[in-house]
């Protein structure tokens, strides 16, 4: 994959896009890790089961 070059011919024009993409990936991985850790908490699972059961 070829890097886009700015007017000066350097690769500095791609740095903000790369940093933004890396930040989005890091945020997505962090969110998934937090959700996985929350599901490992047995009290959360009981609370969710109670809320679902109360709908019936």
CA 9 to chain centre: 33
**What pLDDT is recorded for position 31?**
96
Instruction: Specify burial of residue 13 (Cβ count, 10 A radius: 0-12, 13-18, 19+).
Output: middle
The pTM of this model reads 0.53
* Cα 43 to Cα 32, 40, 50, 55, distances in angstroms: 19, 9, 11, 19
Q: Which residues of the chain have pLDDT under 70?
A: 1-14
């Amino acid at each position: 994959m070829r890097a886009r070059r700015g007017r000066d011919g350097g690769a500095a024009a791609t740095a903000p896009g790369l940093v933004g993409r890396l930040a989005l990936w890091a945020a997505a991985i962090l969110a998934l890790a937090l959700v996985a850790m929350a599901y490992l908490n047995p009290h959360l699972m009981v609370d969710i089961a109670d809320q679902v059961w109360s709908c019936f």
